[in-house]
Structure 1
Amino acid sequence: MNPPVLALSNLSAISDRDRAPILRNVSLEVARGQTCGLVGESGAGKSTVAKAILGILPRTIRVTGGEVKFEGADLLKMKTGPLRRLIGERIALIPQDPMTALNPARRIGAQMTDGPRLWRGLDAAAARALALRLLDEVHIREPGRVLRSFPHELSGGMRQRVLIAAAFALEPRLIVADEPTTALDVTVQKQILRLIRNMQSAHGTSVVFVTHDLGVVAQICDHVTLLFAGRVIETGSASQLLDRPAHPYTRALLEACPRYDRPNAGLRPIPESVIADLYAELGQSGVTT
């Protein structure tokens, strides 16, 4: 069996402000070409895990233990220079908000060609040709016009397609997608998910897909890790976790989600007893939904 592209082992972190645990022994693996969903409610720790992978944790959060291994190298032990180069070339990010992720004062073409020129040494013409090809791959019409445009001149869906194209520009081994469809309407969301899946298949890239939406998980993820309060609650294949959940919290979370195949089924809020049991396991009390 091939080694995983990404392997987190017992990753733990605390807040330097109040010493509160942020991550509690989080472990997960992502195989080559696999999409691993990192799922949880707001505050579960999923974006913190993503930032730990990318080496962009805020200064107020400190890693206290564990490993983040990318192709066998522990990212937590790498010096700043080599880490920046590795993340620039072999790990990419698709951020949540395409409007704030793109520089409003620079044209799309300039922003898409930065990476290929810096990390691959391409000249301006070759970098532009690559950008045009990538925009074509994400089904953007008139890619030449888009390269000349500023971000505010594009729709939200087009901006997100630009970010997807830019993420694949250097053919990274791993992409971290941090809730990339949250700001989009349902129709555009479906198109974006299909694009990410198609691009991933074409380039053989592994993806960590951060989301709170189990409907998105069902559409794009091969494997799922469910977090609560910085701890892994359940992990397994997407079909296993969605169809045969083992943990009471997972079952309760699924029952709280609308199902298009069960239009007449009512939604059930997560019972306070389930949340209380989880906090009891963590040694906390007095917290309810």
Structure 2
Amino acid sequence: MTDPLLSITGLSAVSERENGAPILRDVSLTLTRGEVRGLVGESGAGKSTIAKALLGILPRTVRITGGAIRFEGRDLLTLPAHELRKIMGSEISLIPQDPQTALNPGRRIEAQLTDGLRMRRGLSIREAHDRAAKLLEEVHIRDPERVLRSYPHELSGGMRQRVLIADAFALEPKLVIADEPTTALDVTVQKQILRLIRSMQQAHGTGVIFVTHDLGVVAQICDSVTLLYAGKVIEQGSTAEVLTTPRHIYTQALIAAGPRYDRPDAGLEPVPQSVFEQLRAEIGISR
């Protein structure tokens, strides 16, 4: 059996701003090469904290208290800063959440796509330009030369998100963190972007951690899923197993609370308060 691309074991963290309140509680998960794993949970569940820990961008108010994050066997939490910088952006990259703000409004798209190619890969101006144009073609942008000459405000939200996806895959990373990349987009564009991320991931053989609060998105794109509540892993496994035969009462309640496309007239069922009370008791939250 081959070693996993990513292995998180016993990851725990606290918030110094909240007097040492736990925000990650003994989180463990693995990601194989070419796998898409969903990190799912409501606001405050810890999914974005895990993503930031992977990228080495945790705020100073968050302190890791235990565990390890091993990427190809290297513990990212103990690597020297200069080695971590070599990995970030090159071997691990990010598709950010909001395409409206993630791109620099004062620079053309070409400059933003080619900087990493020239600095990290040593490409010439011409080589970087050609690579950027090819990347835009891969994300189904019809006139890449025009887009390369454009500023972000000249593109639609969906186009900007495609540019960010191209940028994330530019350096052929082994791991991409997708931080709710469809949240700011309308439903039709969301579906296109999900298909695009999946096709790029398959074409490049990249592992993906997909952060989302939407089980419907998980069903469309993820091979496996980790469900979090209050920084604790509640359930995880293959997407098919978790969504069709959920074991935990919280997972069952979340699935029941979602819309049923086979029964459009059925009402939504809120998660019962008793489920949250059971969760807090399991985790050891007093209030």
Tell me which interval the TM-score lies in, with the shorter structure as reference length. Answer: over 0.9
- Which residue is 2:4 aligned to? 4
Deviation at 1:88, TM superposition (A): 2.2
Q: What whole-Å deviation, never above 9, does each CA across 1:65-109 have from its counterpart, x for those lacking one?
A: 000000000000001111011112100100000121100111100
1:96-135 to 2 correspondence within 5 Å? 96-135=97-136
Secondary structure in 2 matching 1:98: coil
- Give the Cα separation in 2 of the matches to 1:275 and 1:146: 48
Query: For residues 263 and 94 of structure 2, what CA distance do their matches in structure 1 show?
Result: 35
Q: TM-score, normalised by structure 2?
A: 0.98
Deviations 1:241-273, CA, capped at 9 Å, x for gaps:
000000000000111111212213221100101
Counterparts of 1:184 and 1:99 in 2: how far apart (Å)?
A: 10
Alignment pair present for 1:13 and 2:13: yes
Q: SS of the residue aligned with 1:89? A: coil
Q: Distance in 1 between matches of 2:24 and 2:48?
A: 11
| Kept in 2: contact 1:276–1:285 (CA 8 A) | no
* Aligned residue in 2 for 1:151: 152
Aligned to 2:200: 199
Question: Any idea what SS the aligned residue of 1:139 has?
Answer: coil
CA contact (8 A) 1:175 1:208 kept: yes
How large is the Cα RMSD of the aligned pairs? 0.7
For residues 86-145 of structure 1, the C-alpha deviation after alignment (integer angstroms, 9 at most, x for no partner) is: 112100100000121100111100000011111101111100100000000101011101
Task: Give the C-alpha shift of residue 183 in structure 1.
Answer: 0.4
Taking every aligned residue pair, what percent have the same amino acid on both sides? 67
Task: State how 1:193-232 maps to structure 2 within 5 Å.
Answer: 193-232=194-233
**Count of residues in correspondence between the two structures:** 286
1:34 matched to 2:25? The reply is: no
The aligned amino acid for 2:184 is A
AA aligned to 2:54 is I
Matches within 5 A, 1:31-180: 31-180=32-181
CA contact (8 A) 1:117 1:124 kept: yes
Unmatched 5+ stretches in structure 1: none
| Corresponding residue SS for 1:166 | helix
Rounded Cα–Cα distance in structure 1 between residues aligned with 2:169 and 2:89: 11
In 1, distance between residues paired with 2:29 and 2:104?
33
Alignment of 1:259-270 (within 5 A): 259-270=260-271
User: What is the CA deviation profile of residues 223-252 of structure 1, one whole-angstrom value per residue up to 9, with x for unaligned ones?
Assistant: 000000000000000000000000000000
Deviations 1:193-244 (A, max 9, x none): 0000101111000000000011100000000000000000000000000000
Deviation at 1:187, TM superposition (A): 0.5
Provide the C-alpha distance between the structure 1 equivalents of 2:233 and 2:2, rounded to a whole number of angstroms: 24
TM-score when normalising by structure 1? 0.98
Maintained 8 Å contact 1:253/1:270: yes
- Once residues 109 and 193 of structure 2 are traced to their aligned partners in structure 1, the CA distance between those partners, rounded to angstroms, is 19
User: What is the distance in 1 between the residues matched to 2:173 and 2:238?
Assistant: 24
> Quick one: distance in 1 between partners of 2:213 and 2:31?
19
Whichever residue aligns with residue 9 of structure 1, its letter is T
Structure 2, unpaired ranges of 5+: none
* Aligned mates of 1:146, 1:79 — CA distance in 2: 38
